[in-house]
Amino acid sequence: MKHLAYLAAFLPTMALAQTDPADWDAVTAAAQGQTVYWNAWGGSTTTNDFIAWVGDRVAEDYGVTLEHVKLTDTADAVTRVLAEKQAGENDDGAIDMIWINGANFAAMKEQDLLFGPFAEQLPNWAFVDVDGKTVQTDFTVPVEGYEAPWAMAQVVFIHDTADLAEPLGDMVQILNWAQANPGRFTYPQPPDFLGTTFLKQALVDLLDDPAALAEPATDANYDLVTAPLWAFLDELTPALWREGRAYPATGPAQLQLIADGEVDLAISFSPGEATAAIANNQLPDTVRTFVLDGGTIGNASFVAVPYNSGSTEGAMVVANFLMSPEAQARAQDPNILGYGTVLNMDALSAEDRAAFDALELGIATLSPAELGAVQAEPHPSWMTRIADDWIERYGVAQ
Amino acid sequence: MKTRFLPILPLVTLAVMLGPVLAGLWGTVLPAFGHLPAAGEVGPSLAPVQALFDWPGLPRAVALSVMTGIGATVIALVIVAPLTAGWSGTRSFRALERALSPLLSVPHAAAAFGLAFLIAPSGWVARLVSPGLTGWDRPPDLLIVQDQWGLAMMAGLVVKEVPFLLLMTLSALGQTDAIRAQAVSAALGYGRVTGWLKTVFPRVYAQIRLPVYVVLAYAMSVVDVAVILGPNTPPPLSVQIVKWMSEPDLAMRLQAAAAALLQLALVLAALVVWRLGEGIVARLGKRWIASGGRGRVDRPVAMAALALGTTSALAVLLGLAVLAVWSFAGFWGFPDALPDTATLKNWMRHGPSALSAFTETALIALTVTLIALVLTLGCLEAEYRHNLRVSQRGMWLLYLPLLIPQTAFLPGLQSLLLSVGADVGIWPVMAAHLVFVLPYVFLSLADPFRAWDARVGTVATALGASPDGVLWRVRLPMLLRPILTATAVGIAVSVGQYLPTLLIGGGRVSTLTTEAVALASGGDRRAIGVYGLLQTGAALLPFAIALAVPALMWRNRKGLRHA
């Protein structure tokens, strides 16, 4: 790194040479005045509000301007970086930070499109719950400091108790209920990430032993392992909302369907989403959440910095702020976002911990104990193949 | 300087307008045949075309594009012709005419949202009559919006294309001697509708042929309306092209380019088929005219046309109303006709970011329209001073950017910009908007400009005014109203642009339209309500100004009020 600094001093054209993430004072100094284009999925208004708040706070504390580039699909951002690399734009690409995980992270890491490692050098990393939460692997892929965690997510099912009073314990019960109540359940259309999450959740729950999913899918085992999923979907699809001839585009679109009384059950990747949506008038207050008896899939949301960002310091400042107790407590507030924190409560000061303790869970949010066991995400190769197959089977030829 | 510059202005205008189209087509053709060095692909190869034909959704996607495109155009025309035939000159028609400008300026996306909120099984219409009339305490499980046949999407296109074709028909009427033709046919005992269709329509159609083609090309390749109202299993071809363009795998762009070429071929083929269809209709029409029928079903046909025209206008207006209700809604469950509570919370939440999108939208629209206005006035003045009359072929050039599907050349343009390293941002977006704004500004300004009484100019010249003096001090002030109207048209067109902003802006340029369509996937109706209303406002306000300013400026120049 010293060599880099040396070079930077002598070659003005290389002024963009990146600051050592470990030298935090240098990072914050360089970040002053930078604009960070954060490419993050923009389909949820509560998340958009939170990002706007983060922008206000980093502008106040560090003089960093945060611009939220609202994506409909995180893959768009990956495309952009790849296209820029191929066009030779290596110094100041359009994207400085991406909300990312899973297959998109795996793709970018594999193709050397990421800046880093930086995450574990950030000051607030000290508070992160490295042992208790899956923040060092992302869908089984080692993170190695190339992305910084900022939220924990776990699958829950949102149900309108006015129409579906009791939780359903597993996928077979969901199927039976859907068949008894045709048209009252749907899931977002894959390849939307929540839609593919539903497929993964179904597969994990249907398999007696999901161990095969921890390894990359192979041609040899793919058909055998996924057979129960397709059998399940073949039975479920005719009982879906609109008989599976149309699907909501995203998770929030599903919530609108519950509010409209069109469906009674929806999947969510955020235990606090239902409570937040009730507070925003987006769901009726009769809505509650449940998890499956065998547990549900959980993972972390990260932010990564493309290798060609011209504002890596600014992006690191934002990533660090996202891991701060202040931002984490706000994200966990069910009236704001209701995202799970990545921090270790024992590592916090008494004052910071009090901020978390003071949060009410909200009427539709399960306590950590009720959320129960977290199941591991399958390796990304499963999701990619399942999503492609789903499109072929149900997505184009109905 | 100016006199030397003026004669070449028409060429500059053509270059500005057609350059991006041709460059974009070039940027589409190359990758379609496997040549995209940025993705490490060097052609030529037929692999992308092969991959496209291997996509299982292709037959349905193509069928959707063709059916919705042709269907929407035919329906719009079938509403407009008998409507004008049966009612032009009457009081109900004047009411519709007054609604025209606002209806035209409502952006397609906002109209589509409004319609979706109206006609969905849990939409406003169902809420108003439930459970009272229907007994529904839950919305029925009916596939109305996003249906596989694209009917909802077709309806969304029809409600926007009816006002457009109606306006075109009205401006053509003046040149067709319609009133005398109708008087003669009425004297011969023909019914109103039959007489009009037999004597006036052939002449009107010759005038509105190009606008009809524009509607056809647009409806076949539209993206934003299709995203909001169209099916998704699979989507129409145009939407799939945009999806492939944004895949992480750059190789998918080759397939997208191949699909874009297919889209272009489809539109061209549809235009050819339509042209042939015109011949057939003309032959049948002649036989019908020769048969001498005076029209026994005239009255019901006219009533039906009025009902359909009114319904389509009401669909847009009620759609805007329901957008407004959602933007102030607290919790609003089914089947309540109105929300539990009204709240300003939604506006407070989305207001600030919507306002910054509004600023960006306004900046782009004003700049682009100003450039288009200068180029158009320059062209028209050059035509006047140097006698450069635009031929029929010239008109085709003017319509070319509107006839070539956006999805065919914008992806190519984006790839080209990227490969030459042109930075994404607001300037390339403005250049792309100009391609679409320029023809509309030109079309709306050309006729009034040419219709200006040149004797006034002769008088001014005799009084010692230079050609520039005549232009600035006489002609332009007299043409204030059409110039402001053209400005409003240009702004409305720019505000409504979705694909150029999305693809060329690379995500960094967010206008009200791109934000609103991005919100569509999230389905938050309150946010969509806020953005949709602001979007409509941005397009509508200039029309209001175009009406108000001349009225104020000319309050004591009565003779100019109707200029």
Q: Tell which residue, B98, B43, B128, has the closest CA to residue B334.
A: B128
Which of residues B102 and B195 earns the better pLDDT score? B195
Q: Give B5-46 pLDDT, tens digit per residue.
A: 777 888 888 898 899 999 999 989 988 998 877 667 787 889
Given a cut of 90, is residue B334 above it in pLDDT? Answer: no
DSSP B90-105: SHHHHHHHHHHHHHHH
CB contact under 8 A, A262 and B40: no
Nearest to B253 by CA among A45, A76, A285, A382: A76
- In this structure, the number of other CB atoms found within 10 A of the CB of residue B427 comes to 14
Both ends of chain A: CA-CA distance in Å?
56
Domain count, chain A: 2
* pLDDT of residue A329 exceeding 80: yes
User: Is there a single domain that holds both residue A106 and residue A162?
Assistant: no
Answer whether residue A367 is part of any domain: no
SS3 labels along A116-169: CCCHHHCHHHHHECCCCCCCCEECCEECCCCEEEEEEEECEEEEECCCCCCCCC
Give the residue carrying structure tokens 């053209």: B486
Q: What was the pLDDT predicted at A213?
A: 92
> How far does chain B reach from its first CA to its final CA, in angstroms?
32
Pair A184, A264: CB distance under 8 Å: yes
pLDDT value at residue A69: 86
Which SS3 state, helix, strand or coil, does residue B466 take?
Answer: coil
What percent of chain A lies above the pLDDT cut of 70?
95
- pLDDT for residue A4: 43
Say yes or no to pLDDT of A81 above 90: no
pLDDT digits (tens, 9 = 90+) for B246-262: 776 777 888 999 999 99
Which residue in this structure is represented by tokens 């596989």? B148
Q: What are phi and psi of B175, to 5 degrees?
A: -95, 10
Q: Which of B141, B326, B502 to mutate to test the interface with A (most CBs of A within 10 A)?
A: B141
What residue spans of B222-344 are helical by DSSP H? 224-229, 237-245, 251-291, 298-327
A186 vs chain B: nearest CA distance in angstroms?
A: 12
Band (pLDDT 50/70/90 cuts) for residue A60 is very high
pLDDT per residue over A226-269, tens digit each? 999 999 999 999 999 999 988 998 888 899 899 988 999 999 98
- Residue A368 reports pLDDT greater than 80: no
User: If we measure between CA atoms, which residue out of A149, A172, A139, A192 comes closest to residue A298?
Assistant: A139
Mark B268-287 as b/e (b = at least 16 C-beta within 10 Å): eebbeebeeeeeeeeeebee
Residue B504 clears pLDDT 90, i.e. is over it: no
Residue A30 lies in a domain: yes
From chain A residues 209-248, the ones with a CB under 8 A of any chain B CB are: 241-243, 245-248
Q: Determine phi and psi for A159, rounding to 5 degrees.
A: -130, 145
Look over chain B and give the mean of its residue pLDDT values, rounded to a whole number. 88
Are A83 and B333 a contacting pair at CB < 8 A?
A: no
More confident site: A43 or A61: A61
Q: Is B333 on the interface with A (CB under 8 A)?
A: yes
pLDDT for the residue A6: 42
Residue A10 has pLDDT above 50, yes or no: no
The label of the residue with tokens 């011209």 reads A310
Report how far apart, in Å, the C-alpha atoms of A331 and of each of A133, A327, A365, B69, B350 are: 17, 6, 14, 46, 19
pLDDT of residue A18: 63
Q: Which domains does chain B have, with CATH numbers?
A: 1-18+339-563 (1.10.3720.10)
Q: Give B248's contacts in chain A (Cβ within 8 Å).
A: 75, 78-79, 82, 104, 107
Instruction: Note whether B103 and B163 are within 8 A (CB).
Output: yes
* Cα A375-A376-A377 angle, rounded to 5 deg: 120
Give residue for tokens 């990430």: A193
- Give the distance from residue B439's alpha carbon to the nearest chain A alpha carbon, in angstroms: 31
Residues linked to residue A301 through DSSP beta bridges, in sequence order: A151
Residue A368 located in a structural domain: no
**B250: nearest CA in chain A?**
A79
Q: Distance between CA atoms of A285 and A270, rounded to whole angstroms? A: 17
* Residue A103 belongs to a domain: yes
Do residue A256 and residue B418 have CB atoms under 8 angstroms apart? no
The H-or-E segment that residue A45 falls in is helix A45-62
Q: Which string of b and e fits A138-172 if b means at least 16 CB within 10 Å?
A: bbbbebebbbbbbbbbbbbbbbbeeebeeebeebe
- Residue A94 placed within a domain: yes
Q: What is the DSSP letter of A267?
A: E
Among the listed residues B125, B115, B124, B109, the one whose alpha carbon sits nearest the alpha carbon of residue B147:
B115
Indicate if A48 and A122 belong to the same structural domain.
yes
- Chain A residues with CB under 8 Å of B141 CB are 182-183, 241-243, 262
A166 and A89 in one domain? no
Of A48, A245, A284, the CB nearest to B148: A245
Establish whether the linkage from the previous residue to A216 is cis, with ω within 30° of 0.
Answer: no
Q: Give how far B286 is from chain A: nearest CA, Å.
A: 44
Of B214, B221, B226, nearest in space to B401 by CA:
B214
Same-domain status, A192 and A244: yes
Distance CA A201, CA B13 (A): 57
* Residue A92 shares a structural domain with residue A163: no
Q: At what angle do helices A325-332 and A350-357 cross, to 10 degrees?
A: 10
Distance from CA of B404 to the nearest CA of A (A): 26
Question: In chain A, which residues have their Cβ closer than 8 Å to the Cβ of B56?
Answer: 392, 396-397
Measured N-to-C along each axis, helices B525-553 and B512-522 cross at an angle, to the nearest 10 degrees, of 160
Nearest CA in chain A to B126: A260
Residue A13's pLDDT is: 35
Using the predicted structure, report yes or no on whether residue A16 has a pLDDT greater than 50: no
* Type of residue numbered A159: H
Which one, of B422, B429, B400, lies nearest residue B500 by Cα?
B429
Judged by phi (left if over 0) then psi (alpha if -120 to 50, else beta), residue A63 lies in left
Pair (A38, A97) in one structural domain? yes
- Judgement on whether residues A35 and A105 belong to the same structural domain of the protein: yes
A128 and A196 share a domain?
Answer: no
- Cα separation, A100 vs A178, in Å, equals 32
The structure tokens 């009384």 sit at: A261
The mean-pLDDT minimum among A273-282, A297-306, B242-251 falls in B242-251
Does residue A191 have a cis peptide bond before it, meaning omega lies within 30 degrees of 0? yes
> In sequence order, which ranges of B88-191 are alpha helices (DSSP H)?
91-105, 108-119, 124-129, 151-173, 178-187
**Residue B82 pLDDT exceeds 80:** yes
Residue A192's domain comprises 156-298+373-395
Q: Is A80 touching B (CB cutoff 8 A)?
A: yes
Number of other CB atoms surrounding residue A181 within 10 Å: 15
CB atoms within 10 A of CB A131: 8
Q: How far apart are CA B197 and CA B84, in angstroms?
A: 10
Model pLDDT, residue B44 = 83
Beta-carbon count within 10 A of A209 CB:
6
Average predicted confidence (pLDDT) for chain A = 88
Q: How far is it, in rounded angstroms, from Cα B337 to Cα B115?
A: 16
How far is it, in rounded angstroms, from Cα B500 to Cα B505? 7
Does residue A43 have a pLDDT over 80? Answer: no
For A27-52, what is the mean pLDDT?
Answer: 90
- B56 touches A: beta carbon within 8 Å: yes
The answer to the question of residue A52 being in a domain is yes
Most confident among B12-16, B431-435, B502-506 (mean pLDDT): B431-435
Selected residue with higher pLDDT from A143 and A11: A143
Q: Are B385 and B6 in contact (CB under 8 A)?
A: yes
The amino acid present at B529, given as its one-letter code, is G
Q: Do residues A247 and A313 both lie within one domain? A: no
Per-residue pLDDT, B89: 82
Kindly state whether residues A112 and A44 are assigned to the same domain.
Answer: yes
Q: What is the tens place of the pLDDT at every residue in B63-75?
A: 999 999 999 999 9
DSSP symbol at A186 = -
What's the mean pLDDT in A91-115?
90
Comparing A3-12, A324-333, B323-332, the range with the smallest average pLDDT is A3-12
Q: pLDDT confidence of A15, banded at 50, 70, 90?
A: very low
DSSP H helical ranges for A190-311: 193-206, 219-236, 251-259, 273-279
Q: Give, for A92, the enclosing helix (H) or strand (E).
A: none
How sure is the predictor about B563, in pLDDT bands with cuts at 50, 70 and 90? very low
To test the contact with chain A by mutation, choose from B343, B521, B526, B531 the residue with the greatest count of A C-beta atoms within 10 A, namely: B521
Higher pLDDT, A290 or B143: A290
Question: Residue B3: its pLDDT value, please?
Answer: 57
Pairing of strands A156-160, A287-290: antiparallel
Q: Of A33-47, A264-278, A283-297, B384-398, where does mean pLDDT reach its minimum?
A: B384-398
CATH of the domain at A122: 3.40.190.10
- Same domain, residue pair A305 and A294: no
For A95, name the nearest residue in chain B, comparing CA atoms only. B508
Q: Tell me if A119 is assigned to some domain.
A: yes
**Is the peptide bond between B44 and the residue preceding it cis, with omega within 30 degrees of 0?**
yes
- Please identify which residue in the block is written with the tokens 């999503």: A387
Run of H or E residues at A306: none
For position B394, what pLDDT does the model report?
76
Identify which of B146, B421, B525 has the shortest CB distance to residue A246: B146
* A181 shares its domain with A92: no
Is A374 in a helix, a strand, or coil?
Answer: strand
Q: How many CA atoms lie within 13 A of A133 on its CB side?
A: 24
A345 lies in some domain: yes
- Residue A391's closest chain B neighbor by CA? B233
Distance from C-alpha of B68 to C-alpha of B286, rounded to nearest angstrom: 29
* Residue B120 φ then ψ, to 5°: -60, 155
Which of B9-23, B260-274, B290-304, B421-435 is most confident?
B260-274
Compute the average pLDDT of residues A180-204.
93
**What is the mean pLDDT of the segment spanning B141-157?**
91
Nearest to B101 by CA among B555, B542, B551, B563: B542
What span, in angstroms and rounded, lies between the C-alpha atoms of B15 and B206?
A: 28
- Check if A111 contacts B (Cβ < 8 Å): no
Say which residue the tokens 């849990």 belong to.
B122
- Structure confidence at residue A156 as a pLDDT band (50, 70, 90): very high
Query: Please, is A5 exposed, middle or buried when counting C-beta atoms within 10 Å of its C-beta (0-12, 13-18, 19+)?
Result: middle
Of B236, B270, B233, B98, nearest to B156 by C-alpha is B236
